[in-house]
């Protein structure tokens, strides 16, 4: 699609609108389970020493997620209620992501490296109704910090430990999950039918560059299509195997990797927390062909593989972004392992990807740019006065369309500052656009 008259304005072709589907996250999991019921949807293979080893088919992932949805309903969680999740990349994280989506609850992910004051701010700002917390992480008691934070969250009425509860201030995961038996599949299905593509599915707290974090309200439509269209641009195919060390509390993990894998019939291998040796072992053992990693992860992963004598030559795709990506690094991975690259650019408020290079692009575009806008997304670059700049000149990146957040939860002023009356999202980032968009 040509840009507009030498101006930095990408206008999507009219027929691209049909590529955006009116789907919920639950619909996407249903579709994957219907298409590939017996294929591995989720696998953990590098944690036998920690008692974690599993392979779930897409059908089993759906079934287990619906058990979680029924347990949420049995706990009194209603449509639109906020459910916070403070944990590493464990299987329960994904079950809660899908379970909440099925029953119309809104997930509020929390970085497990945050501390009590920061968690209290999120619980209070999002008026969180339930929280699921990993009791301990990296020697720190999240459980104790959680209860300190909970004193500032009057809306909180349910506390569940992922694993065993250290005390009587909350319930253990297994005990909580058993409560779902009181809710029927029919009752869940009635609830699921009431969930719409335009409903809020997550509130992702993002700090930007200044001030307190703001809770970006993301819709089912936004995250589902970002995952779907990303997977198409990355040329992922049914039966691919994707190792995901990106944190699930961030869109790179819970949207791009998780929903992108669902949309393409790809097995996801989550990494609990980034440990390059475990990533390398997973790739070598499973002959993984897709990897998502920021540049610093790529460097650490290659060093770990060399130390342990592990072969990474099965890799065909490297999905990266999140910071400036050195062309030399990607060229090295292509020469050494044969992997082709897909570079993403975006931000949480855009669900998150706005532009993406494709592995079949010429090298200078594949490795040296952030690619073109995703289908049906409008993008322009403007100067300080809001005027579009000519091609090749620097301007602030804006985007409009299906991918844009609904707003910042409970913060009308911040929403007005970020979103124009006619739907443009200001990213605060500077970029250049060429004649190819």
- Tokens encoding 409: 């939860």
User: What DSSP assignment string belongs to 138-164?
Assistant: TTEEHHHHHHHHHTT-TT--EEEESSS
Q: What is the pLDDT of residue 207?
A: 73
On the CB side of 254, CA atoms within 13 Å amount to 35
- Which domains, ranges and CATH numbers included, belong to the chain? 3-431 (3.40.50.12780)
| Alpha-carbon span 36 to 232, nearest angstrom | 17
Q: What is the pLDDT of residue 166?
A: 96
The CA-to-CA distance between both ends of the chain, in Å, stands at: 8
Query: Lowest mean pLDDT: which of 174-183, 203-212, 270-279?
Result: 203-212
Contact 203, 415 (CB under 8 A): no
Exposed e or buried b per residue across 153-186, where buried means at least 16 C-beta atoms within 10 angstroms of its C-beta: beebebbbbbbebeeeebbbbeebbeebeebeee
What's the whole-model pTM score?
Answer: 0.97
Q: Is the pLDDT of residue 112 over 90?
A: yes
DSSP 390: B
| Phi, psi of 118, deg, nearest 5 | -70, -40
How crowded is residue 221: how many other Cβ atoms within 10 Å of its Cβ?
Answer: 23
Q: What is the pLDDT of residue 309?
A: 97
| pLDDT tens digits, one per residue of 215-234 | 999 999 999 999 999 999 99
Q: What is the pLDDT of residue 1?
A: 53
Contact 394, 253 (CB under 8 A): no
Length of the chain: 437
User: How far, in Å, are 31, 58, 78, 185, 262 from residue 34 at the CA level?
Assistant: 5, 8, 27, 17, 11
- Tokens encoding 106: 């809104």
> Could you tell me the pLDDT band of residue 212, with boundaries at 50, 70 and 90?
confident
Q: Is the pLDDT of residue 92 over 70?
A: yes
| Alpha-carbon span 162 to 172, nearest angstrom | 7
% of the chain surpassing 90 pLDDT: 96
Exposed e or buried b per residue across 273-291, where buried means at least 16 C-beta atoms within 10 angstroms of its C-beta: ebbbbbbbbbbbebebbbb
| Alpha-carbon span 10 to 26, nearest angstrom | 32
Query: To the nearest whole number, what is the mean pLDDT of the chain?
Result: 96
Higher-scoring residue by pLDDT: 171, 210: 171
| pLDDT tens digits, one per residue of 334-363 | 999 999 999 999 999 999 999 999 999 999
> Strand pairing of 378-382 and 395-400?
antiparallel
3-state secondary structure of 346: strand
| Alpha-carbon span 75 to 132, nearest angstrom | 13
What's the mean pLDDT in 267-273? 98
Contact 96, 132 (CB under 8 A): yes
Cα angle 44, 250, 93; round to 5: 40
| Alpha-carbon span 420 to 427, nearest angstrom | 12
> Could you tell me the pLDDT band of residue 210, with boundaries at 50, 70 and 90?
low
What's the mean pLDDT in 366-374? 95
Contact 324, 351 (CB under 8 A): no
């Amino acid at each position: 699609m040509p840009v507009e008259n030498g101006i930095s304005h990408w206008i999507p072709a009219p027929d691209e609108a049909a590529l955006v589907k009116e789907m919920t996250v639950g619909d996407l999991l249903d579709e994957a389970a219907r298409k590939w019921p017996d294929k591995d949807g989720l696998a953990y293979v590098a944690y036998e020493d920690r008692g974690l080893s599993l392979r779930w088919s897409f059908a089993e992932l759906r079934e287990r997620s619906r058990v979680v949805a029924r347990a949420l309903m049995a706990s009194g969680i209603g449509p639109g209620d906020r459910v916070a999740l403070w944990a590493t990349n464990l299987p329960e994280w994904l079950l809660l992501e899908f379970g909440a989506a099925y029953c119309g609850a809104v997930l509020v992910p929390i970085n497990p490296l945050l501390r009590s004051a920061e968690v209290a701010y999120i619980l209070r700002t999002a008026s969180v109704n339930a929280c699921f917390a990993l009791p301990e992480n990296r020697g720190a008691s999240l459980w104790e910090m959680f209860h300190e934070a909970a004193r500032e969250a009057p809306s909180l009425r349910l506390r569940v430990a992922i694993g065993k509860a250290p005390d009587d201030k909350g319930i253990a995961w297994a005990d909580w999950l058993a409560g779902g038996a009181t809710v029927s599949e029919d009752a869940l299905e009635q609830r699921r039918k009431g969930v719409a593509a335009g409903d809020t599915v997550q509130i992702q707290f993002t700090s930007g560059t200044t001030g307190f974090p703001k809770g970006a309200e993301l819709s089912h439509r936004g995250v589902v299509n970002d995952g779907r269209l990303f997977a198409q641009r990355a040329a992922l195919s049914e039966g691919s195997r994707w190792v995901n060390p990106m944190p699930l509390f961030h869109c790179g993990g819970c949207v791009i990797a998780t929903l992108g894998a669902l949309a393409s019939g790809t097995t996801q291998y989550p990494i609990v927390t980034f440990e390059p040796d475990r990533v390398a072992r997973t790739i070598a053992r499973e002959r993984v062909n897709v990897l998502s990693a920021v540049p610093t992860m790529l460097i650490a992963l290659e060093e770990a593989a060399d130390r342990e004598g592990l072969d990474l030559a099965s890799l065909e795709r490297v999905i990266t972004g999140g910071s400036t990506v050195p062309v030399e690094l990607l060229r090295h991975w292509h020469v050494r392992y044969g992997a082709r690259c897909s570079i993403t650019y975006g931000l949480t408020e855009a669900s998150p990807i706005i532009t993406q290079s494709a592995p079949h692009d010429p090298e200078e575009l594949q490795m040296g740019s952030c690619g073109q806008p995703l289908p049906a997304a409008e993008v322009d670059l403007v100067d300080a006065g809001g005027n579009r700049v000519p091609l090749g000149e620097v301007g602030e990146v804006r985007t409009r369309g299906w991918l844009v957040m609904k707003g910042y939860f409970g913060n009308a002023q911040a929403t007005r500052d970020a979103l124009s009356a006619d739907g443009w999202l200001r990213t605060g980032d500077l970029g250049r656009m060429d004649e190819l968009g």
